[in-house]
Amino acid sequence: MENNRRRKNRNIIWIALSLLGLVIGANILFRDSPPVQSAHAFLNKISNDTLYPKTNEEALKQQNANPEPNPPVPEKTALPSAKSAEVSDVPAVGKMIAKIPLSKPTVYLTFDDGPGRYTQDIVEILDKNDIKGGFFWVGQNLKTEQQSTFAKKMLENGHIIGTHTMHHETLRKKPKDVQVQMIRTSTEYISQKIGAPIYYFRPPYGAIDQNTLVASKETNQILAYWNVDSLDWKHGDKPDLIMNNIASEVKPGSIILMHEKEQTVRLLPKIIELLKQKGYGFAPLPVPDPVEKS
């Protein structure tokens, strides 16, 4: 009996040792297998935020501690609230225009703040390309007989000269009668100097109000605005930005605003070539039939 009990215990011990050996062998065989390693790697890649999500309060604190920067606001010249006249050929006197659509893709090149040292350079570039420009002059800049003679030659070649007030003053918020006088004074002065009637007026800084529209009509002027601002006066050291301003905003019928600046002279041939590549032709601001003034 005692021998049977001992034999039975030995069998149990042997079975237990065999099972233990199988467990140890399996662990050695599969512990470092690729699937197990991949599983460990996957778990190690899970962030604490995934396993233990932040509460709304914690997330808000982190967001406030690291706020996202505000996106840059593109710089653009704001157009006035008054509606631009949609015209097909010759604008009506007393209306504001920002574009002049024609049957073919056409743009209008205009230049403010002359006459000055760069006027002749700009005109020569335009003449070389058979383009007629629109020039908005400040009365106080037109002083010499030489300037008057050159202006008459410009008109003979098809360019247009308009007014930009006598002293480049803002009209907006001034009484209507004051605005009328400001427009009329510059119109009569420049007209006398160049020996030709004036049909176009452009407000300095583009600053207008309802009185400006009324004053423009009472002085028999077309209020010439624009829908493409090159910002050449501001970005003289950034020619690519000036080019991009024109390329991104130009449309058929666009009136393009530029100034009589050195940087404009340098870029004008490239601007003309850019517009030609986009399929645009060029035209002068159309001159309406003369209106008799009382």
Number of residues assigned to the chain: 294
Long-range contacts made by residues 142-149, C-beta under 8 angstroms, separation at least 24? 142/115, 142/189, 142/190, 142/193, 142/194, 147/115, 147/193, 148/193, 148/194, 148/195
Whole-number Å distance between alpha carbons of 115 and 249: 27
Which residue among 112, 209, 229, 232 is the active-site one?
A: 112
Active site residue 237: no
Structure tokens at 285: 């601001």
Which residue among 113, 159, 232, 259 is the active-site one?
A: 259
Whole-number Å distance between alpha carbons of 240 and 111: 19
Structure tokens at 109: 């090149």
Active site residue 259: yes
How many angstroms separate the first and last alpha carbons of the chain? 146
Any idea which residues carry the catalytic annotation?
112, 259
